[in-house]
Amino acid sequence: MQVKGKGKKKLYDDINITPMLDLAYVLLVIFIIMTTASVQGIKVNVPKASSSVSLAKPTTKAITVDSDGQVYLDTFPVTIDELESQLRSFKAVTPDFPVVIKGDRVAQFGRITEVLDACSRVGISQLGIVTERVKPS
């Protein structure tokens, strides 16, 4: 005869949440990395200037003018008219979003002026120009 309770395996009645927390932490790290990489833009050779306050925020739009005079909104090439219409649609959603302009060192000043005029027509009040910091000698 078998004694009651002997030989039977005990059932677990609790849930181990450690693997679930590990997954949550990994997802949190992935989301943090993806949101910080959202405003990359096109790599250009920017001029040097003194240190200034950065406007970089997750809602910041980056407008880039490369050495050939091509204009990019974030990483997408646009014309001045397309730039203005897209900035208007962003302004309708977020009325006070900042814009940073990155111009290549050898870019035509007239092209950068057209971008500044488009921002002015849309009514963007937070506008910054990206420069490279001067290294102390």
Residue-level pLDDT at 85: 92
Helix (H) or strand (E) holding 65: strand 61-65
Task: Check residue 137 and give its pLDDT.
Answer: 63
Residue 60, SS3? coil
Ordered by where they begin, the domains of the chain are: 61-131 (3.30.420.270)
What's the one-letter identity of residue 36?
T
HEC assignment per residue over 95-124: CCCCEEEEECCCCCHHHHHHHHHHHHHHCC
Query: What is the separation, in whole angstroms, between the first and last Cα of the chain?
Result: 91
Closest CA to 55 of 44, 39, 67: 39
pLDDT in tens, 14-71: 777 778 888 899 999 888 887 766 656 667 777 776 665 555 545 788 899 988 889 9
Whether the model clears a pTM of 0.85, i.e. scores above it, the answer is no
- DSSP per position, 11-66: PP-S---HHHHHHHHHHHHHHHHHHHTS-------PPEE--------TT-EEEEE-
